[in-house]
Amino acid sequence: VLRLAARAPRLTRAAPRRTSSGAQAMPKRAAAAASAADEGKPPAKSPAKKPKAAKPKPKAEKVVLDRDATPRADPSAVAAGAPLVRICLWNVGGVRALLKSDERRALLQRLLSEEQPDVLCLQEHKLQETHLAEVEADLRELAPSHTAHWAVSVPPAKKGYSGVVALVRDGIAAALPRGEGLTAIGRGVGGEVEGKGRKGKKKAQGDASIKSFFAAKDAAGGGDQAGGAAAGSDAATEAAAEAPCGLLSVHEGLGVPVALDRDYNIEGRVLTLDLGSFSLVLAYVPNSGQDLKRLDYRIDTWEEDLKAHLKALEELGKPVVYVGDLNVAHLDLDIWNVGAKHLAKSAGTTPQEREAMGRLLDAGFVDTFRALHPNARHAYTFWSVRAGNRPWNRGLRLDYCISSASMSPSAAETQLPRVVDSFILDHFNTNGDHAPVGCVVAVPPIEK
């Protein structure tokens, strides 16, 4: 046994490695720390382990926001036999684009056929004055019984920007005195237009001031509307006799009796029509813009001037219907995602814009749709195309028919003029952006 033990190899610990100088070698990590200490540097930290990426939260399943029913009134029953003026409005985002689209042309023809509007107001037509004659002729093909009156953006404002147009039924327009109006011919389009720009704002604009806005008109004078029934013809006489009202004058811009010297008044944003028993104001309200760059201008200038314009018209003896893309979602009910943090900094949903709308209504005006449908949910007029919100009805209500309080749907049945119906035609919009809206006004019979 002793011999075997002596022959067995000894199990000894391995000798430490030595450097060339004979010093004992250190592990790499300890050596690095010692080297850093010699140089006066803190020892290098071990690389931190990357935290595991959080698992993305599952997206909430989209659901369609079901619109509450907002049944249409029967105007003939509510109005007790009074004549009716039917008004529709639609932000079309470019008239020429609409006319080039077979689908959208068909929608406009269907709107004209189903609603039979006496006045069809289109906002954001985006035309220059040089385009008016050609586009007016195209519109006459779609609406052969209506005459167009234009408000157009002119220099120094941007060309092909903003713009509104009122297509007025010929029987109503026949009351307009000869030579007045804002048709392409009335604006002097076809030759050079004199006095473009803010100063002396074109004699060619027709009724550029409304000093005689409510002066007595001779309906027998007839109109000189391009493409319409010839003044004094049997067709014109018959159409005028059947019309519920007459167009007595047309005025472009805000300001009574003369349009104000404001940037928005050369952007083609406003038309005011004297329809006999009431004034119709059509507007495309300035958007506060990206980063709200135009918010202060809109609140401090536009909103105050607009309210003053409406009140001045009332003081001249007639109530007002104010329609258009007003670029504001007034109530929580008018916003699909009310409470979202970004709304306070988004054009159309800022507290300042919503409060300005409230101040307008407090000044003696009525949101006619809400007067008839105060609690209707998910009744919107605009859906973001970029976000693809239309299929889910994730929208805003930006388009309105506002009236003087005396014309409210809640006024007495004997009160004329009076709004007897107000509606949203969202079934005309399947892809997003704006839907048409409208109202029906009962008016006193025209004295023959």
Give the pLDDT band (50/70/90) at residue 178: confident
Residue 325 is assigned to a ligand binding site: yes
Active site residue 399: no
Q: Residue 274 burial (CB < 10 Å; 0-12/13-18/19+)?
A: buried
Lowest mean pLDDT among 74-83, 292-301, 307-316, 374-383: 74-83
Side-chain half-sphere of 213: how many Cα atoms within 13 Å?
28
Give the pLDDT band (50/70/90) at residue 21: low
What's the token pair of residue 197? 């720009």
Percent of the chain predicted with pLDDT > 70: 76
Query: 429-432 long-range contacts, Cβ below 8 Å, gap at least 24?
Result: 429/383, 429/390, 430/390, 431/385, 431/390, 432/383, 432/384, 432/385, 432/388, 432/389, 432/390
Q: What angle do CA 316, 321, 326 make, to 5 degrees?
A: 120
The rounded distance, in Å, linking the Cα atoms of 370 and 349 is: 18
Q: What DSSP designation does 331 have?
A: S
Task: Give the model's pLDDT for residue 28.
Answer: 58
Give the pLDDT band (50/70/90) at residue 2: low
Is 251's pLDDT higher than 60? Answer: yes
Amino acid type, 412: A
Is 208's pLDDT higher than 90? Answer: no
Q: Domain 75-175+243-439: which topology?
A: Deoxyribonuclease I; Chain A (3.60.10)
Lowest mean pLDDT among 31-35, 122-126, 222-226: 222-226
Count other C-beta atoms under 10 Å from residue 75's C-beta.
18
Active site residue 322: no
Give the pLDDT band (50/70/90) at residue 214: very low
pLDDT in tens, 27-86: 555 555 555 555 555 655 666 666 776 677 667 788 999 999 999 999 888 888 899 999
Q: Which of 264, 284, 322, 400 is catalytic?
A: 284
Is 377's pLDDT higher than 70? Answer: yes
The rounded distance, in Å, linking the Cα atoms of 113 and 119 is: 13
Residue 287 is assigned to a ligand binding site: no
Residue 397 contacts by C-beta under 8 Å, 6 or more apart in sequence? Answer: 329, 330, 333, 334, 335, 369, 379, 380, 381, 382, 424
Task: Give the model's pLDDT for residue 224.
Answer: 41
Amino acid type, 391: P
Which whole number is the average pLDDT over 171-195?
77
Active site residue 131: no
Is 299's pLDDT higher than 60? Answer: yes
Give the domain ranges of the chain.
75-175+243-439
Residue 32 phi/psi, 5-degree rounding, is -65, -40
Task: Give the model's pLDDT for residue 75.
Answer: 86
Query: From the DSSP assignment, how many helices (H) and strands (E) are in the chain?
Result: 12, 15
Task: Give the model's pLDDT for residue 15.
Answer: 52
Question: Which residue did the predictor score with more confidence, 10 or 430?
Answer: 430
Q: Residue 427 burial (CB < 10 Å; 0-12/13-18/19+)?
A: exposed
Residue 265 is assigned to a ligand binding site: no
Residue 385 contacts by C-beta under 8 Å, 6 or more apart in sequence? Answer: 431, 432, 433
Q: Which of 224, 305, 325, 399 is catalytic?
A: 325
Residue 104 contacts by C-beta under 8 Å, 6 or more apart in sequence? Answer: 92, 97, 98
What's the token pair of residue 420? 């007897």
Axis-axis angle for helices 102-115, 132-142 (nearest 10) = 60
Which whole number is the average pLDDT over 127-132?
95
Count other C-beta atoms under 10 Å from residue 64's C-beta.
10
- Strands (E) located in 110-221: 119-123, 146-151, 164-169
Give the pLDDT band (50/70/90) at residue 234: low
Q: Which of 251, 330, 373, 434 is catalytic?
A: 434
pLDDT in tens, 344-361: 999 999 999 999 999 999
- Rounded to the nearest integer, the mean pLDDT of the chain is 84
Amino acid type, 439: C
pLDDT in tens, 109-119: 999 999 999 99
Residue 434 is assigned to a ligand binding site: yes
Is 295's pLDDT higher than 70? Answer: yes
Residue 429 is assigned to a ligand binding site: no
Which whole number is the average pLDDT over 277-298?
97
